[in-house]
């Protein structure tokens, strides 16, 4: 068994390992065939680290750290997003890369696990600065990626604008135009429905789970969606389409409480087109209360979708949601609930879906983008959306069945981790 104390200087990675190993069934942990795998699986195949030197609008050279963690490719090419955020460090990227191995397996598409990024903060930077940063980042990264090797994608702080700059730079430096990145804008070979995929996907997952456990859906439900970036916005859109009312959202500065329901297009324009802050929504809408960011978890709701960032919802927040009668918590972000919060949900029979299963919609459509690029095809929005729905339903069904077989149908963490671990372990054994 691995010594988790060894990872105490990498707290996020250590938490991800704890979550995985604490949930593996005895039959897996004690299986002699898996003993070596349990040790090997925590070590990334490669870690690439580099300086990114770029010039700001004042003509001054700036230096950031860049990383790519290629964790495990037993299930296919390394695949996982790039994150640009000041908090980025190796511990966070190892945590996300490790999670990605299992998430990608759950999609049933041929993708391994990886993650990368930089401590660069695109917030408040001009387009020119973001472009120069992306060019400098790709100058370092391009030798290590490519359609048959490693295919990075969007994540926090990396959207269509950044992927465009990165992909143009990749083509220039490598002389190739293969599918080396996903989440590309449509004119560069991107897939329809990729922008919507993670937010739509987590909502499709929620519908499956609400039906299975509570014989209900989202119609008339009061919903909290934390964050207001890519995942949160398209979760908002789909929840509204499914008849739910999203009454609260946030960013890292503030939350807004809108008992009448947040209007998707208005928030989309504010966030995507104007790159504004969420509190500005109150300037143009009536009956909106602006709260501190964490105030979002004090609000009474039936269903919650944490879609902002890791560890945004702790045990205290979980207690408040439970007291307020929440019936389901579906993670759109990666590990937004602390382990303690997740345990509390399970204990109180709140449906709790771990991100590695419920937010797999994004990487699934990235997989479909690779497939389309490989075949030289462009699929309709409806076709991609349908494949997404079926992938999410399949993920729910597989992990629900595993959870039930292991003794507690509500324990989707156990269901997801055991199902995916066994799948990856068997592939590693077959590879030898
Ligand atoms: P974005 O950068 O588009 O949006 C992130 C949002 O979260 C922003 O509104 C940001 O606000 C907010 N936020 C960040 N930190 C906090 C905080 N501490 N409290 C409240 N809000 C906060 O990222 P994405 O939407 O792409 O990603 C969100 C999460 O989903 C991440 O965990 C990511 O790894 C995960 N994910 C994303 C996928 C995708 O396809 N995009 C796929 C699978 C998972 P602010 O502007 O103030 O920083």
Quick one: which of 196, 175, 127, 199 has its CA closest to 358? 199
Task: Say if residue 65 is exposed, middle or buried (CB neighbours under 10 Å; 0-12, 13-18, 19+).
Answer: middle
CA atoms of 392 and 390, how far apart (whole Å): 5
Q: What's the pTM value of the predicted model, to 2 decimals?
A: 0.94
Q: Which residue's entry shows tokens 């990024």?
A: 117
Atom of ligand 1 nearest to the CA of 359: 43
Q: Are 312 and 318 in contact (CB under 8 A)?
A: no
Quick one: which of 253, 224, 254 has its CA closest to 236? 224
CA of 260 to the centre of ligand 1 (A): 24
Q: Which residues are catalytic?
A: 115
Q: Are 171 and 98 in contact (CB under 8 A)?
A: no
The angle at the Cα of 263, spanning 262 to 265, to the nearest 5 degrees, equals 140
Residue of the nearest CA to atom 35 in ligand 1?
A: 333
> CA distances (Å), 167 to each of 13, 107, 189, 240, 244, in order?
29, 25, 10, 33, 37
CA atoms of 45 and 205, how far apart (whole Å): 31
312 Cβ closer than 6 Å to some ligand 1 atom: yes
CA of 311 to the centre of ligand 1 (A): 12
Q: Digits of tens for pLDDT over the chain (432 positions)?
A: 678 899 999 999 999 999 999 999 999 999 999 999 999 999 999 999 999 999 999 999 999 999 999 999 999 999 999 999 999 999 999 999 999 999 999 999 999 999 999 999 999 999 999 999 999 999 999 999 999 999 999 999 999 999 999 999 999 999 999 999 999 999 999 999 999 999 999 999 999 999 999 999 999 999 999 999 999 999 999 999 999 999 999 999 999 999 999 999 999 999 999 999 999 999 999 999 999 999 999 999 999 999 999 999 999 999 999 999 999 999 999 999 999 999 999 999 999 999 999 999 999 999 999 999 999 999 999 999 999 999 999 999 999 999 999 999 999 999 999 999 999 999 999 998
CA of 80 to the centre of ligand 1 (A): 15
198 Cβ closer than 6 Å to some ligand 1 atom: yes
Q: Write out the two tokens for 387.
A: 């494949």
Q: Collapsing DSSP states into helix, strand and coil, what is residue 170? A: helix
Atom of ligand 1 nearest to the CA of 336: 32
């Amino acid at each position: 068994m691995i010594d988790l104390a060894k990872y105490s200087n990498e707290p996020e990675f250590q938490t991800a390992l704890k979550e995985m190993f604490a949930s593996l069934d005895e039959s897996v942990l004690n299986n002699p065939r898996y003993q070596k795998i349990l040790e090997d699986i925590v070590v990334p195949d490669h870690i690439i680290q580099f300086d990114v030197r770029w010039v700001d609008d004042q003509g001054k050279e700036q230096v950031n750290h860049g990383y790519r963690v290629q964790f495990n490719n037993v299930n296919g090419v390394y695949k996982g997003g790039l994150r640009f955020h000041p908090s980025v460090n190796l511990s966070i990227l190892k945590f996300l890369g490790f999670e990605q191995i299992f998430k990608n397996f759950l999609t049933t598409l041929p993708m391994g696990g990886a993650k990368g990024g930089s401590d660069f903060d695109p917030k408040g930077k001009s387009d020119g600065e973001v472009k120069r940063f992306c060019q400098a980042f790709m100058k370092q990264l391009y030798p290590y990626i490519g359609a048959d090797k490693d295919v990075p994608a969007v994540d926090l702080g990396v959207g269509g604008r950044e992927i465009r700059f990165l992909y143009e730079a990749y083509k220039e430096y490598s002389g190739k135009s293969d599918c080396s990145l996903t989440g590309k804008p449509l004119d560069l070979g991107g897939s329809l429905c990729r922008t919507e995929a993670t937010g739509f996907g987590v909502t499709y997952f929620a519908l499956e789970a609400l039906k299975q456990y509570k014989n209900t859906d989202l119609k008339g439900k009061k919903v909290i969606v934390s964050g207001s970036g890519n995942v949160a916005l398209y979760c908002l859109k789909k929840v509204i389409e499914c008849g739910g009312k999203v009454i609260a959202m946030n960013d890292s500065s503030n939350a807004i409480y809108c008992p009448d329901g947040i209007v998707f297009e208005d928030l989309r324009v504010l966030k995507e087109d104007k790159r504004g802050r969420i509190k500005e929504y109150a300037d143009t809408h009536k009956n909106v209360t602006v709260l501190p960011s964490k105030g979002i978890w004090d609000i009474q709701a039936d269903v919650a979708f944490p879609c902002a960032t890791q560890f945004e919802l702790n045990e205290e927040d979980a207690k408040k949601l439970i007291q307020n009668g929440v019936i389901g918590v579906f993670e759109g972000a990666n590990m937004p609930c602390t382990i303690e919060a997740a345990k509390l949900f399970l204990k109180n029979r709140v449906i709790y879906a771990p991100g590695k299963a419920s937010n797999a919609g994004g990487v699934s459509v990235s997989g479909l983008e690779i497939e389309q690029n490989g075949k030289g095809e462009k699929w309709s929005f409806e076709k991609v959306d349908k494949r997404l729905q079926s992938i999410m339903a399949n993920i729910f069904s597989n992990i629900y069945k595993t959870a039930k077989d292991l003794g507690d149908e509500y324990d989707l963490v156990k269901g997801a981790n055991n199902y995916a671990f066994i799948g990856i372990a068997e592939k590693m054994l077959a590879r030898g």
